[in-house]
Amino acid sequence: MIDWLKKFFGKLKDLWLGWSLMKKLVFIGIIVVIVGAFVLLGFLSSQPPQAVIFNTTVTDELLTAQISAALDAENIAYTKGADGRFYVKDDFTARQARTLLVREDLLPGQLDPWNFFTNMDRWTLTDFDRDVNLQRALTNNLEQHISALSDVDTAKVTLVMPETQLFAQDQNPVTASVIIYPRPGSDITENKGKVEGIVKLIQFAVEGLVAENITIVDHKGTVLNDFSGMEDVDRLNLTNRMLRQKRALEAQYTAAVLASLGNVFTPSRVNIVNLDIDLEFIKKSIETQEFYPITMKEDNPNTPYSELEVVPSIIRSRENSSESFEGTGFNPEGPPGQEGQTPPAYQDLTNLVGQYESDRNIENNEINQRSISEEKSPYEIKRISLGIVLDGVWSLKYDENNKPVVGPEGRRERTYTPVDETVLREAQAVVESAVGFSKARGDVVTVKNISFDRIEQFRIEDTEWMRKQQNQKIILWTAVGLASIIFIFVLVRGISKQLERRRREQEELLARQHQAMREQALREAEEEGMEIGLSVEERARMDLQDNAKNLAREYPDDVAHLIQTWLAMEN
């Protein structure tokens, strides 16, 4: 164990010695910060807990000074925290300070008025306390729910819950007043649906509260839930929604038609003159009761014939009865000595013998029955009117050299090929399939071939073509000019170099001739024993020639390489 500790401390020592001064300072600073944090934590945890006087912050400097002066006058020790609240040593001192400040009317403006009912120590609670707590809980809960909405920044709720009376006619209604502060960019002040949602939220949260006793205003004092006279607005909104639905459906059909014909005729040759969809906005609920046969044997799909057996109905119960009678009937009479109640018309039938027979057969059959409940969409297409114009094909004219034919005005000539009637009928069939054509509904789909006005388009195309032709000519002649200039420059440079070379050769030839003549004269003078005086330049030239000859004898390769370099530079 001791050896392990020695090795551990040895590694720490080696690590410490290997660190730079900056690393050592950083490590010491971290240790100091950790120790200071533990010391501060222990100091704060050892302090006794303090009680707050008011559970709200005091931001007004004048009010802060007045509260401090009042507490100092009563010798109440206090501290003001960084959160703006006043703290004392215990709850008893807090109640004394609270009583003092209430008496001196030194209460923070944003103090919750219900704190005096809930922050008081009591042994029991009265019905009034419970009602106050209930009202406060409902108010806070509603404020939290309304403020949680994405369109509301904050909300203030005031509930009036009167006492319960013995007679209903004496009972005052429950009312609610709400002030909402909308978020920036919210449309809650103009959106009726959102306001109605808040009204229902408040109505179902408070027992006995009805929508008529709820008032919602914004921060400007505008009543938001006053929906009187909104019938015209609702009707206008409904009309706008219908028109938007109609435009959306027409846009959908337009895209379907263009997608059907665009790949065949190209989009530039297809034009929808008019697309009108007559919609009937109605909501229908249909209840249908259907009776159908009973299947006794299912059909086998693997056989080429049908084994299906059906019967209209099956017998559920059957009742047969037979009755017969023969003899005189019983004629009831009154008390003895009194005439009976038999009508005169039946008195003559008394004591007549009769015969009666009755046969009755009853069968109860069962049939298949199903009830169908259908609810159709809020709108249905009543009629579709569609008119489409197709353009033919414009093609350029070319001459025998396969070049476009240009007219006197500088425009290319074109020929027009109309769309064949067979193609028009096929296009009409495609369009009818795309829009769901129904003859019974009275739909009308028309597809015609009409030549489009493409004068401006052709003018732009011809102008662009002429500009490209001019650019090509400019580029061609510019290239030819540049090539000519380069050729003339090379030719002149070659001729000048040739002339310069000939001039140098002529000068070198003359110089060699003069040198030969001079050397000849010197040799002749030496042979004759005459002394000839040489100038300094001539003697230096002769010395230079002698040195060059000696250098050429000693280093022939270097001299040859030097001469080649000179010749290359001259050429």
Strand, coil or helix: 93 = helix
How far is residue 59 from each of residues 85, 114, 280, 364, measured CA to CA in Å? 9, 21, 64, 90
The residue whose two tokens read 């665009």 is 262
CA angle 312, 315, 319 (to 5 degrees): 140
State residue 140's pLDDT score: 86
Phi, psi of 174 (to 5 degrees): -80, 130
pLDDT computed for residue 177 by the predictor: 92
Kindly state the average pLDDT of the residues 536-552: 69
CATH of 127-227, one of 3.40.50.1820, 3.40.50.300, 3.30.56.10, 3.30.300.30: 3.30.300.30
Residue 114 has pLDDT above 60, yes or no: no
Mean pLDDT of 109-117: 57
- The whole-number pLDDT of residue 376 equals 66
Do the Cβ atoms of 364 and 317 come closer than 8 Å? Answer: yes
Q: Give yes or no for residue 121 having a pLDDT over 60.
A: no
Distance spanning both ends of the chain, measured CA to CA: 92
Q: Residue 130 pLDDT more than 70?
A: yes
Q: Which of 140, 132, 136, 149 is nearest to 200 (CA)?
A: 149
Map residue 294 onto helix, strand or coil.
strand
Placement of tokens 């057996």 in the chain: 309
The CA-atom distances, in angstroms, between 171 and each of 132, 204, 331 are 19, 20, 72
Determine the pLDDT at residue 345.
62
Axis-axis angle for helices 91-103, 61-73 (nearest 10): 110
- Phi/psi region, residue 535 (left: phi>0; alpha: psi -120 to 50; beta: rest), is beta
- Quote the pTM value: 0.39
Residue 80 CA to residue 68 CA, distance in Å, equals 9
Q: Is the pLDDT of residue 329 over 70?
A: no
- DSSP 8-state assignment for residue 485: H
Q: Bridge-partner residues for 58, per DSSP?
A: none
Pick from 130-139, 150-159, 288-297, 508-517: least confident: 508-517
Higher local confidence (pLDDT), 433 or 215:
215
Amino acid 179: pLDDT? 92
Tell me the residue type at 345.
A
Greatest mean pLDDT among 207-216, 313-322, 393-402: 207-216
Q: Mind listing the pLDDT tens digit for each residue in 188-233?
A: 888 888 888 899 999 888 888 998 899 999 988 888 888 776 666 6
User: In Å, what is the CA distance from 57 to each residue of 53, 72, 87?
Assistant: 10, 19, 11
> Can you tell me the distance from the alpha carbon of 189 to that of 223, in angstroms, rounded to the nearest whole number?
9
Which residue from 434, 439, 424 is spatially nearest to 275, judged by alpha carbons?
434
More confident residue, 11 or 48: 11
Cα–Cα distance measured from residue 50 to residue 87, given in angstroms and rounded to the nearest whole number: 6
Give the separation between CA 519 and CA 528, rounded to whole angstroms.
Answer: 14
Domains of the chain, by residue range, sit at: 1-45, 51-104, 127-227, 472-529, 533-570
**417 confidence band (pLDDT: 50, 70, 90):** confident
Instruction: Give whichever of 45-54, 156-165, 516-525 has the largest mean pLDDT.
Output: 156-165
CA-CA distance, 502 to 356, in Å (whole number)?
164
Across the chain, what does the average pLDDT equal? 79
Amino acid at 337: G
* For the ranges 226-235, 344-353, 428-437, the one whose mean pLDDT is highest: 428-437
Query: What is 148-210 written as a DSSP string?
Result: TSTTEEEEEEEEE-PPPPSSGGGPPPPEEEEEEEEPTT--TTT-HHHHHHHHHHHHHHSTT--
pLDDT tens, position by position, 547-566: 777 777 777 777 777 777 77
Task: Write down the H helix ranges in 397-454.
Answer: 421-435
Average the pLDDT over 97-113 and give the result: 70
Query: What are the pLDDT digits (tens) for 250-272?
Result: 888 888 888 878 777 877 888 88
Say how many CA atoms lie within 13 Å of 320 toward its Cβ.
0
In angstroms and rounded to an integer, the radius of gyration of the C-alpha atoms of the chain is 59
What contacts 248, CB < 8 A, 6 or more positions away?
Answer: none
Task: Give the residue, 173 or 314, on which the prediction is more confident.
Answer: 173
Whether the Cβ atoms of residue 57 and residue 84 lie closer than 8 Å to each other? yes
Q: Pick from 176, 150, 149, 148: which is nearest to 161 by CA? A: 176
